[in-house]
Amino acid sequence: MNGVLIIDKPSGLTSHDVVSRARRILNQRSVGHLGTLDPMATGILPLVIGSFTRLAQFYLGAEKTYEGTIRFGFSTDTYDAEGDPTAAPVEVNLSREELEALAGKFRGVISQNPPPFSAKKVKGVPAYKLARKQKEVKLEPVSVEIKEFEILSVESDRATFRARVGSGTYMRSVAHDMGRELGCGGHLESLRRTSVAEFTLADAHTLDEVAAVTAGNSAQTIEDILVHPRKLLPHLPSVTADEMAAGYIRSGRTVNLAEMSRAPLVKVFAGQRELIAVATRVAGTLFHPKIVLVGS
């Protein structure tokens, strides 16, 4: 089985938990995910299966969108609702205008400190492992981009939001930093990821739905719930190779793709659905496979 499967992750599972369950459900050893999602968070978790794990390199900088709730009045050591409060709660009653003005400071390219309870590594060790042992965690600020950040509603000490961010952005840190700016503390109470790259909730399935398909208890087939290969990497042009060219591509050889003279990278198909490679232009209309997804 080769393909991309979008899971609507439930709260309480780590991304690794989802991968482990998917391996059992699909009876496939080669399963990976595109972008970690915190255990508390729900929503889009793309899984790559079989040889399609080789596509992960093209999604390292994938844009993501989120919706969630920030609670003000106290911060936590994890920057979210699963952590322990770092100070006694204080009563707050914030206005939408106040939070909208503050949200403006977080749009664009900003310097952000990752949460101490995160997968970021300190001398090769994930920060959360050090934090759990109550060891000091010093993470260097990183440059991230928040392309959109909109306050949707405000009620007493809670604000709902929608955000579109570049890779590596922690919404937990945004919540924590907003609370610090206001002087009352704050943390991320809930988070739902609504898209990753070209994938949206419309593409997503629960683990139970996938299990029903594999058990034959659904009208859908595995092919139905996998993302159609033509929808993958939409920014790359597609070419359908003839039988001879497809054979060359499958064996890792350079081919002439006459209709592609300018594109640096192309998706190569054999037929309507079979994505066999992503190829890079060598010169003119000569292309060499960068990754081969279906060999000879």
How many of the other CB atoms lie within 10 Å of CB of 247?
Answer: 15
DSSP labels, 195-232: EETTEEGGG-B-HHHHHHHHTT-SS--HHHHSPPGGGS
- Asked if 38 is an active-site residue, the reply is yes
Structure-token pair, residue 101: 């003005």
Catalytic residue among 8, 17, 38, 208: 38
3-state secondary structure of 79: coil
User: Which DSSP category does 115 fall into?
Assistant: P
Write down the H helix ranges in 104-198.
127-132, 171-182
Distance CA 228, CA 21 (A): 22
7: exposed, middle or buried (Cβ count in 10 Å: 0-12, 13-18, 19+): buried
3-state secondary structure of 145: strand
Is the Cβ–Cβ distance between 58 and 83 less than 8 Å?
no
Sort strands 42-49 and 186-196 into parallel, antiparallel or unpaired.
parallel
Active centre residues (catalytic)? 38
